[in-house]
Structures are given as C-alpha cells and as structure tokens.
Amino acid sequence: MGEFFQTYFDFSIMGDNFNAVLEGFWWTIKLSLIGGAFALAWGLILSVIRQLPGKALAPVRWLAIAYIDCLRGIPMLLTLLLIYGGLGTLQSTGTIPEWLGIPEFFGWPSSFWYGVMALTLTYGAYMAEVYRAGIESIPRGQMEAARSLGMSHGQAMRFVIVPQAIRRVIPPLLNDYIALMKDTSLVSVISLAEVVHVGQDVYSTTFNPSALTLGAIMFLIVTLPLARLVDWQIKRQDEKFQRGLA
C-alpha cells in the first residue's frame, strides 16, 4: 500500500509541480469555456436548420443531418488532427489566409484554437441532437398557435419554441459539457501545454505519475459539482412535471 501511494500520491512531486499543473489546467478551463460556448451556439444553429420547413429547404436540412451524423461518427481526436494538419497545409500553399491557417488570436497559440475548432465542430453535432430532442418535445399546438397569431416560422421558433426547448434540455447539455471538458485533454497531442501535457512532461522526468494524479484531482474539483448540478436540474424538472400532472 505504501508503494501505491508513493507512486500515485507523491506529495513532494505534486508540490514541486503544482504551479505548472495549475497553469496547464487553466488552459483546460479556457478550452472548455470557449469551445463549449461555440459548441452551444453551433449546435443550436444546426438544430434550427434541421427543423426548417418546406420542400425547397430539404437540401439544407439534409446537409445539416449529414454533418451531424458524420461529426458524431468521427472520433474527436481524428477531427483535431485533420484540422491541425489541414489548415497548416492550406495556409502554406496560400489557399487560406494566415489568420485562419495559423490562428493566434489574443496571443494564444494556434494549437489552442485548433482545439477550440475541434470541440466546436464535434460537440456542436452532439448538442444539435440534444436541442432537436427539446424542440420536438414541445407540443405541435404551440407552433400552430404562434402561426395563427401571425408569426412566421422563424419568429415562432425564436420567441416560442426554442426558449421552452432550451429550458428542457439544460441537464443533457450540462452532461455534454462535462464530456467536452474531459475531451480537452486530447489537445495535448498537438503540443498544447494543458494539464495532461504538463503531467506527462513531469512524468517523463520523474518517472512518477503523481503530477497526472494532481491533474485528475483538478478535473474532479470541477466536474463533480457539475454532475451534482445535473442531478439537481433533473430532480427539479421531475418535480415540475409531477406538479403539472397534479
């Protein structure tokens, strides 16, 4: 047992590298917040496009469905590597501008923004399905009532359907955000010094994974309260549903 704790909980190694691991975790937090915000917005756009009515807009709906299916079926690591390798190559050949091929907005490294793009594209597809479930859970009579009042389809979606749908899907969206936050660790493969990358660097010099354990603890400090928040949201919705039945 002592050997186990010496291997995974060497407090001297944790203390010596705490600041470096914390700085790496700060990159993780920024990745999850910015990538999560973009994914939420992109997912909502995709779900609304998928609900567009009429035969004339069928190709647009099919394109959105194809995108959602493809991005949900491709591992995010592969999407990240495609973005990382593809944008750099396209920029070097002059096909796309430098600000897009090697983005360094706010002075942050391009690997950070490649990670944001991968998180947005992948989790936008997952969140689009969550939004779609929320939209389709709204009774059709709500749309018909809005249209009877003279609203266009877009106005009915904006002011009546989508606000109700978003309130219903907060718990699954939070679950997706927790998964997104954990997947930020994949960005370590393109050399962003986030928490996993820093932990691996420490391990390569000390041959002790305690710095990785410290990173895992930091993840738990954030994700466990979020998980309890999801449980509270689900319980709150169930209570509202029961009151509605009563």
Q: Which domains does the chain have, with CATH numbers?
A: 26-206 (1.10.3720.10)
Give residue 110's pLDDT: 94
Is residue 131 packed enough to be buried (19+ CB in 10 Å), middle (13-18) or exposed (0-12)? buried
* Res. 39: pLDDT tops 90: yes
Residue 245 has pLDDT above 60, yes or no: no
- Calpha distance 222→196 (Å, rounded): 15
This prediction's pTM: 0.91
pLDDT of residue 243: 59
Whether the CB-CB separation of 79 and 118 falls below 8 Å is answered with yes
Average pLDDT over residues 9-17: 92
